[in-house]
Amino acid sequence: MSVMQRNGAAAGPGARAQLNGSRRDLADWGGAAIRLTDISKVYGRGEGAVHAVDRLSLSVGNGEFVCLVGASGCGKSTLLSIVAGLDMPTAGRVDTGERRVAIMFQEPALFPWLTARRNVELALRARRVQKDERRRRAAELLETVHLAEFADKRPHELSGGMRQRVALARALAQDADVLLMDEPFGALDAMTRDLLHDELERICSERELTVLFVTHNVREAARLGDRVVLLSSRPGRVIEEYDVPRTGPRRIDSASVAGLASKITDRLREEMRRHG
Ligand SMILES: Nc1ncnc2c1ncn2[C@@H]1O[C@H](COP(=O)(O)OP(=O)(O)O)[C@@H](O)[C@H]1O
Ligand SMILES: [Mg+2]
C-alpha cells in the first residue's frame, strides 16, 4: 500500500520521540511493517463532529503480533480501516511500505451462494490467478485452516468457527504480509476461540505475518500478542504498552496470561472510570 500523508509530521527517528511510553528502539522503528505517525480522525464537522482518534503514533515491527485493546468506541476499528486504506486519517501519516494488507472482521462476510472453496477462489481470481492454479491454491489454503473436508459446503452448512476459518483462508489468499483483524473471534464460543488462537499462532509464524489484532477481550490480547497496546477512551491515544515475554506455548488460562490480563484490565478500568 502506498504512503498516505495529510498534514502529518514526517515518519522516522524524529517522529519516534512522540511514541509516548513505547519501548521500541530506533532499529525497530526503522524496520517497522506498519508506521502510524500522529494519526487523528474526526468524523463530521461542527457541533456534531466526533473525534475518534487523537494524534496516535504506533509502529509494528515486521513479523510482530500486536494486539490493540481499549474501551468500546475508542477508535480501534477506525484505526484498522485507516491502516487498510479503507478510510483516510484527518491528519497524520500511515506507512505500510509496499506491503500487501488484508483485513478480517467479526462477521466473515462470505458469499452465501458460494461454497467455501469458491469463496476462497474468488479472492484468488481478484488477484488474476489462473483457474487451475486457483483450484490448487484454494485447496491448499483450506487445508491450512483444517477445512479440506468442508470445501464444498456453503456458509450456512458451516459452524461460526468454520466460517471464520474460511474468512481466514480468504484473507491468506491475498498473499498479505500484514493481516489486520477486527475482533475476528468476538462472536465465537470460548472453546472454538481457543482452537482458533492456536491455529492463528501457527499460521502467523509459518508465514511470518505481521498482525494488528483488535479485541476488547484482554485475555485474548495477552494470549496472542507479542505486545499489547492499550488505547485511551475516545479519542483513542496510546496510553500504555505491554511486552509479552515469549516463553514457550501460551494458553488463555495459563497463570502468566491471567496475570498480565489482570494488570491490563486494572489499567483499562482506571481509564474508563476517568471518562465516566
Ligand atoms: N463512519 C462514521 N461516521 C461517524 N462516526 C463514526 C463512524 N465510524 C465510527 N464513528 C464513531 O467514532 C468513534 C470510534 O468508533 P470505532 O472506531 O468503531 O470504535 P471501536 O472500534 O473502538 O469500538 C465512535 O464514537 C463511533 O461512533
Ligand atoms: Mg470496533
Q: What is the model's pLDDT at position 88?
A: 96
Collect all residues with Cβ–Cβ distance below 8 Å to 85 and sequence separation of at least 6: 1, 4, 94, 101
Residue whose CA is at the smallest distance from ligand 1 atom 7: 43
Lookup result for grid cell 479485541: 215
- Chunked into runs of 10 residues, the chain (276 residues) has average pLDDT values of 34 33 42 94 94 96 96 94 96 94 94 97 93 95 95 97 95 94 94 92 92 95 96 93 83 90 95 84
Q: Coil, strand, or helix at residue 2?
A: coil
Positive or negative: CA dihedral 149, 155, 159, 161: positive
The angle subtended at Cα 84 by Cα 80 and Cα 85, nearest 5°, is: 120
Q: What is the model's pLDDT at position 9?
A: 30
Residue whose CA is at the smallest distance from ligand 1 atom 16: 75
Mutate to test the pocket of ligand 1, among 39, 41, 50, 272 (most ligand atoms within 8 A of CB): 50
Q: Alpha carbon 81 to chain centroid distance?
A: 10
Q: What is the model's pLDDT at position 30?
A: 57
Domains of the chain and any CATH numbers:
63-88+177-274 (3.40.50.300)
Q: What is the model's pLDDT at position 162?
A: 95
Q: Residue 47 carries which DSSP code?
A: G
Q: Are strands 4-6 and 91-95 parallel, antiparallel or unpaired?
A: antiparallel
Query: Where does ligand 1 bind, in terms of residues with CB under 6 Å?
Result: 43-44, 50, 52, 70, 72-78, 234
Collect all residues with Cβ–Cβ distance below 8 Å to 149 and sequence separation of at least 6: none
| Ligand 1 atom closest to the CA of 53, numbered from 1 | 14
HSE on the CB side for 36, CA within 13 Å? 27
Residue by residue, what is the 3-state secondary structure of 98-150? CCCEEEECCCCCCCCCCCHHHHHHHHHHHCCCCHHHHHHHHHHHHHHCCCHHH
CB 171 within 8 A of CB 163: no
CB 212 within 8 A of CB 56: no
